[in-house]
């Protein structure tokens, strides 16, 4: 039995996230950050790169994730496939940052920097979702639906059940039946042929239910975006509560999105084999 000496040699490989920080994050290209503006006026708002460099970044972005109107630069992480072209063309404005906790409550949460009126709206969205999922007290069951993926996200979703991530230690389980599911995890661009199956799956789920769109394909359609066979993401079919950017997002990113969706993060509760507990240990 070779697994015995191997286990003794390597010890426990299962991550302690989210109870403990995981060392995986700092070395992972998780998202692109837009540098804050310095000073006033278009020249300063160009962060030292200049309008020409920013215009080139806009033109070179394969998914149209960057907008620059001569004054404000914004990046839509719901479209960003992390190709790194903007970082190479305008390094003073765009920065490749590590980390996997990138999930956002609502589509507007993925646009950076956020508009002035977005903070209050996002706070209300998060609070509304927290009130809705308050009844999810024990194990959380996830139904995964591929709505037209290229297969990249599916590898990451499957990894959640391996010994490194082991989502079952958190009381998160995958189920084949939508009638038993609390969370609908959707990947893929949202093809026309998947519209009816996706809606049927959503309708069969009991309340309270939550939808997590994993990957830029599910968020916006990605490289395909929209066409005769696609709808530019899955929000046109069913309401989406939490978006996980990335192409594909990492397993930790997807796990973070699920935990955000069911209110585990930010509520100071953690899920274990016996269900969620608060800080006093009560269930």
DSSP labels, 229-254: TEESSSTTTS---EEE-SSSPPHHHH
Longest Cα separation, the chain: 68
Q: Is-contact 184 178, C-beta < 8 A? A: yes
Lowest mean pLDDT of 11-20, 187-196, 229-238, 263-272, name the range.
Answer: 263-272
CATH code of the domain made up of 29-98: 3.30.70.20
Reported as a pLDDT band with limits 50, 70 and 90, residue 116 is: low
Torsion over CA: 142, 145, 150, 155 (sign)? positive
Q: Residue 276 has what pLDDT?
A: 38
Torsion over CA: 149, 152, 153, 154 (sign): positive
Residue 212 has φ and ψ, to the nearest 5°, of -120, 120
Query: With 50 as the cut, is the pLDDT of residue 21 above it?
Result: yes
Kindly indicate the confidence band of residue 39, based on its pLDDT and cuts at 50, 70 and 90: very low
Verdict on whether the full-model pTM lies above 0.75: yes
Q: How far apart are CA 51 and CA 182, in angstroms?
A: 47
Q: Which residues pair with 150 in a beta bridge?
A: none
Q: What's the token pair of residue 164? A: 């490194």
Domain boundaries of the chain, sorted by first residue: 29-98, 123-261
**Shortest CA distance to 19 belongs to which of 169, 242, 182, 173?**
169
CATH classification number, 123-261, choose in 3.10.180.10, 3.30.390.50, 3.40.50.12280, 3.30.70.270: 3.40.50.12280
Over residues 191-233, the pLDDT tens digits come to 989 999 999 999 999 988 999 999 999 999 988 876 777 778 9
> What pLDDT, on the 0 to 100 scale, is given for residue 85?
95
Spatial distance between the Cα atoms of 171 and 161, rounded to a whole number of angstroms: 12
Residues 103-111 have a mean pLDDT of 90
Banded pLDDT at 237 (limits 50, 70, 90): very high
Q: Cα(first)–Cα(last) distance of the chain, in Å?
A: 40
Kindly state the tokens that stand for 178: 């939508």
Name residues whose C-beta falls within 8 Å of residue 42's C-beta, 6 or more positions apart in sequence: 51, 70, 71
Length of the chain: 283
Tell me, what's the pLDDT at 268?
A: 38
Q: What is the pLDDT of residue 271?
A: 38
Q: Count other Cβ atoms within 10 Å, centred on residue 205.
A: 20
Closest C-alpha to 258, from 171, 177, 196, 198: 171
Average pLDDT score over residue span 254-280: 61
Q: Tell which residue, 99, 127, 125, 138, has the closest CA to residue 269.
A: 138
Average pLDDT over residues 235-251: 94
The DSSP code for 14 is S
Gap between the Cα atoms of 84 and 60, Å rounded: 10
29-98 shares its CATH topology with 123-261: no
Question: Is the bond leading into 113 cis (omega within 30 degrees of zero)?
Answer: yes
- Work out the angle between the directed axes of helices 251-261 and 152-159 (0-180°, nearest 10): 70
- pLDDT tops 60 at residue 278: no
Mean of the per-residue pLDDT values of the chain: 83
């Amino acid at each position: 039995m070779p697994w015995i000496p191997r286990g003794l040699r390597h010890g426990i490989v299962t991550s302690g996230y989210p109870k403990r920080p995981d060392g995986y994050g700092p070395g992972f290209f998780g998202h692109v950050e837009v540098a804050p503006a310095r000073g006033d006026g278009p020249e300063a708002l160009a962060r030292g790169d200049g309008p020409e460099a920013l215009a080139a970044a806009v033109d070179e972005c394969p998914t149209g994730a960057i907008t620059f109107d001569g004054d404000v630069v914004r990046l839509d992480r719901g479209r960003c496939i992390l190709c790194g072209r903007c970082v190479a063309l305008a390094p003073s404005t765009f920065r490749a940052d590590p980390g996997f906790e990138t999930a956002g409550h609502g589509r507007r949460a993925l646009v950076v920097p956020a508009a002035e009126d977005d903070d209050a709206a996002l706070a209300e969205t998060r609070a509304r979702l927290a009130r809705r999922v308050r009844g999810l007290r024990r194990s959380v069951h996830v139904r995964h639906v591929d709505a037209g993926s290229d297969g990249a996200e599916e590898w990451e979703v499957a990894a959640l059940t391996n010994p490194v991530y082991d989502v079952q230690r958190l009381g998160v389980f995958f189920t084949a039946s939508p009638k038993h599911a609390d969370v609908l995890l959707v990947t893929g661009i949202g093809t026309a042929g998947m519209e009816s199956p996706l809606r049927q799956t959503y309708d069969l789920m009991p309340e309270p239910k939550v939808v997590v769109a994993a990957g830029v394909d599910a968020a916006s359609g990605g490289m395909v975006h929209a066409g005769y066979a696609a709808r530019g993401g899955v929000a046109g079919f069913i309401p989406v509560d939490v978006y996980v950017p990335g192409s594909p997002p990492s397993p930790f990113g997807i796990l973070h999105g699920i935990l955000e969706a069911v209110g585990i993060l930010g509520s100071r509760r953690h899920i274990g084999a016996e269900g969620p507990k608060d800080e006093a240990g009560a269930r």
